[in-house]
Amino acid sequence: MKVLTYLLVVFGLLFSACESDDFPPPGGEDPPCGPLIDVEITAQVLEHHLTGFALRDVAKIMVDYTESSILITPDGTFKGRDQIQIYYEKLLPAFPADETLFEIDVQKVEKEVAYIIWNAETPTFTVPLGTDTFVVEDGKIMRQTFVAQIMPK
């Protein structure tokens, strides 16, 4: 009886295994197991994030994060919406909307990863090189890294 139960469990696992994310099912079928990963969704989330930054709108930016999100910066690692929100509330005033020139030099999106290289000029400092990497799952930024070379004026 134990052998029969074991075989049923093994066959059940084999036949209910997740499909590969590289080969999603045709329209109308159930999506593969695991997080939804789609280059178009990743690009939309990046665009939404950049719009929130351009508007200096913390609430708009925070829509892109979850309680499981992690932001890694030279200043520390911020976990969850509360810590990430505090980080942006401190960061955004350094980039006054009407006095900052922010340019994206490189923007790439591949599956769930978005990558930008940017530069900025503010009244108090210059950023000749900044970069962010975003990992997007299920339409949310789950992981982000950020670093910038900041040169006081």
pLDDT band at 34 (very low <50, low <70, confident <90, very high): confident
- Cα–Cα distance for residue pair 122/26, rounded to 1 Å: 49
Write out the two tokens for 19.
């499909």
Residue 23 included in any domain: no
Residue 127 included in any domain: yes
What CATH number did the domain enclosing 112 receive?
3.10.450.50
- The string of pLDDT tens digits covering residues 55-80 is 999 999 999 999 999 999 999 999 99
Residue ranges with strand state E in 74-111:
76-79, 101-110
Q: Which residue has the higher pLDDT, 18 or 95?
A: 95
Residue 125 included in any domain: yes
Percent of the chain with pLDDT over 90: 75
Query: What is the span of the domain harbouring residue 147?
Result: 35-152
Residue 68 included in any domain: yes
Residue 30 included in any domain: no
- Cα–Cα distance for residue pair 4/112, rounded to 1 Å: 41
- The string of pLDDT tens digits covering residues 97-113 is 999 999 999 999 999 99
Q: What rounded mean pLDDT belongs to the chain?
A: 86
Q: Is 38 helix (H, G, I), strand (E, B) or coil?
A: coil
Residue 19 included in any domain: no
- Cα–Cα distance for residue pair 78/31, rounded to 1 Å: 31
User: In this predicted structure, what is the pLDDT of residue 67?
Assistant: 98
User: In this predicted structure, what is the pLDDT of residue 33?
Assistant: 67
Cα three-residue angle 74-138-116, rounded to 5 degrees: 40
User: In this predicted structure, what is the pLDDT of residue 47?
Assistant: 98
pTM over 0.85: no
User: In this predicted structure, what is the pLDDT of residue 132?
Assistant: 98
With a cut of 50, say whether residue 15 has pLDDT above it.
Answer: no
With a cut of 80, say whether residue 9 has pLDDT above it.
Answer: no
Q: Is the distance from CB of 114 to CB of 42 less than 8 angstroms?
A: yes
Residue 123 included in any domain: yes
Residue 2 included in any domain: no
Write out the two tokens for 27.
């329209």
Q: Which residue has the higher pLDDT, 13 or 87?
A: 87
To 10 degrees, the CA torsion angle through 24, 28, 33, 36?
Answer: 70
Write out the two tokens for 88.
């942006």
Instruction: Say if residue 39 is exposed, middle or buried (CB neighbours under 10 Å; 0-12, 13-18, 19+).
Output: middle
